[in-house]
Amino acid sequence: MNTIPTQLTDLPLFSKIRLSEINPKLTSILRQNRLDLKKLLKKRTARTWDNFMLPLEELEDRLNHFWSIIEHLNNVNQTPALRKIYSRCLFKLVAYRTELAQNTKIYRAIQSIVKSSPYKQLSSTKKRIIQHVLRDFKLSGTTLDTKKKQQFRQLKKRHAELTTKFEENLLDATHAWVFKVHHQKELAGLPEHIMSEAKHLAKKRKTSGWILTLDFHMYSAVIIYADNRDLRKKMYEAYSTRASEQGPTAHKYDNTKILEKILDTRDKMAKLVGFKHYSQYSLATKMAKSPSVVFDFLYGLAKRIKPLAKKELKTLQNFVKKYYGIKKLEVWDIAYYSEKMQYRKYKIRQQQFRNYFPVDKVISGLFELAQKLYSITLVEKQHINRWHKDVRYFEIYDKTNTARGAFYADLYARPKKHGGAWMAECRNRRVLKDGRVQLPLAFLNCNFTPPQRKQPTLLTHEEVTTLFHEFGHTLHHLLSTVDELGASGINGIPWDSVELPSQLMEGFCWEKPILDLMTKHYHTCQKMSALMHKKLLISKTFQTGMHSMRQVIFALFDMRIHHEYNAKQKNQIQKILQNIRQQFEVIKPPAFNRFQNSFSHIFAGGYAAGYYSYKWAEVLSCDAFSLFKQHGLFDQEISQSFLHNILEIGGSRDMMKAFVKFRGRKPSMTALLKDSGII
């Protein structure tokens, strides 16, 4: 088919969205989809890709055009009214999707396509999509009897209710806690921009003094820099007990019982469709095909990392005892004294790096890197309808000046916005009926410190890597050349490899040629010097054992609770967590810590029995990046190979085969271990 790319027009009109119209609009779309599906299933002609799979794709895309925007607004501007409407709509949507996923007529129709002779002539991409669809039908309970289907539907609905409530509780608990500081000396050590923001928050509340919140950028600043040990403890306790039965807001937004209900619901869904544990159910769509493979991977990593982590902690304890006379190091002391030790040993302060990274310079450097790697140009467009004045909009063009896609960047923290950083799809690439290409559209979201007065936002290096990470996801979505919705962008990609492009982008953040593109000291206007770069590289492997162990513990916790869940056992989440900590945690958190109650990645996101994906994909990304370093960061043969073999293919190919085609062999863990300073 000869396709003609569309122009980037018909963008969402966020300012025209009326809350009162959301529910009726969704209801109308779902009604129309059901009617169109009924007509489609009534047709007596032999099923083919064109007369059956494509109409199904169109139904999905019609719904996604509307719902992706509502979902996004709920994440970035969640008012009480929108929350209520969103929850009501979400349950309708879950019911519709489950109903669709359990439709035996659709399942049999697609099976008939596989058995037909035209199936052999389909492209490998279309065959792969069909096979994945049939697999997903089975995972959704299509082959169950009527009674069990109904049970599965009820469980799916219940799961949506629970995960939504989990996220709402976490958001409420995070924003409910504020701490007023009356005297500036109590904030000694804090960076100037955090002091300024705290003062600004107090003024907004029409009060004196300074206001501290649990927004992560403010919490982390206090934990790392505040000289006031009591303040650090207060912030740590409030942050680590969010949405739990512990801490300053105990029981008010408690997720404890919700966690157990989420696990129970997942366990029952998995058992209904023939799996012993939810861990197996989750892995049915991933690269790692069994829990034993994941456990071997994680325990193997943990055993290699633990000696280094213990050594790092011992070094820190000795430092604190020698220079500060503190015999017992508490969890809320680790980041603070680590920063002190970094400075004393290496003359490194993270805030020194921050001055080199004005956000606009980082963005221009990031875009220049993308241009050098993939021959693309990013153009900012003004006068675009947006949901907040700080939102920016960029279009991507390739070397033939053909539009490839666009994205919105919402970079700053604010009330009513979910914490963290993420990329979300707005539209996916696909070929329309008239032969035009629907270009992809994305949302890139972060939670950086907002600009204060005339001073620009200065990013920490960690925030720079966060931006690069999410931009990697964005490129993965936007640069796809797959024309079928089921394999376009990140669709159809195993969850444990979806982090490969994003983590590869992080690798560039440490390289001097890239830093030269994106650094400009806020006061001197100089690029990062060779000496500062050397310090940055030292900071990269500083306490890497402790940081890596934390990620492995999170992954083991996630995998074990989904593999060992037993409805008859009480308090098993906390028991499993304690057991893992006893084995691998080098510094034990206090008894009141309830990190699991805010672990939204696995209890409200897509990482259930899949958090290991970060480390799994890090093996892939470090190994891939080592090829860039070996041949040159801007080597066109390597970068174009990554573009064509990874970024553009979406879910159209087996990811291990795609990686081997790029790398020339299967992935090796050596690069990750070297990069982390473990070997």
Q: Which spans in 77-145 are helix H?
A: 80-101, 104-115, 124-139
> Which residues contact residue 291 at a Cβ distance below 8 angstroms, ignoring those fewer than 6 apart?
277, 279, 280, 283, 559, 563
In angstroms, the CA 648 to CA 205 distance is: 48
377-380, strands of its sheet edge to edge = 377-380, 392-397, 403-412, 441-448, 422-427
Q: How many residues does the chain have?
A: 679
Q: Can you give 114-129 as a three-state secondary structure string?
A: HHCHHHHHCCHHHHHH
Yes or no: say if 545 and 311 are a contact pair by the CB < 8 Å rule. yes
Across the strands, what pairs with 444?
409, 423
Q: Which spans in 273-396 are helix H?
A: 278-283, 291-324, 331-346, 350-354, 359-374
Yes or no: say if 410 and 422 are a contact pair by the CB < 8 Å rule. no
Phi, psi of 260, deg, nearest 5: -65, -40
Which 3 state secondary structure label does DSSP give 427?
strand
CB burial string 251-260: b at 16+ within 10 A, e below: eebbbbebbb
| Ramachandran category for residue 535: left, alpha or beta (phi over 0 → left; psi -120 to 50 → alpha) | alpha
Using alpha carbons only, what angle is made at residue 352 by residues 357 and 209, rounded to the nearest 5 degrees? 90
Across the strands, what pairs with 422?
445
Burial (CB count <10 Å: 0-12, 13-18, 19+), residue 216? middle
Question: Cβ–Cβ contacts within 10 Å for residue 433, how many?
Answer: 8
Tokens found for residue 453: 């007065």
> Which residues contact residue 509 at a Cβ distance below 8 angstroms, ignoring those fewer than 6 apart?
461, 464, 465, 468, 515
Tokens found for residue 364: 């221009």
End-to-end CA distance of the chain: 52
Among 303, 353, 339, which Cα is nearest to 542's? Answer: 339
In angstroms, the CA 571 to CA 436 distance is: 55
In angstroms, the CA 135 to CA 494 distance is: 13
In angstroms, the CA 560 to CA 270 distance is: 15
In angstroms, the CA 300 to CA 474 distance is: 32
Q: Catalytic residue numbers? A: 470
Across the strands, what pairs with 179?
212
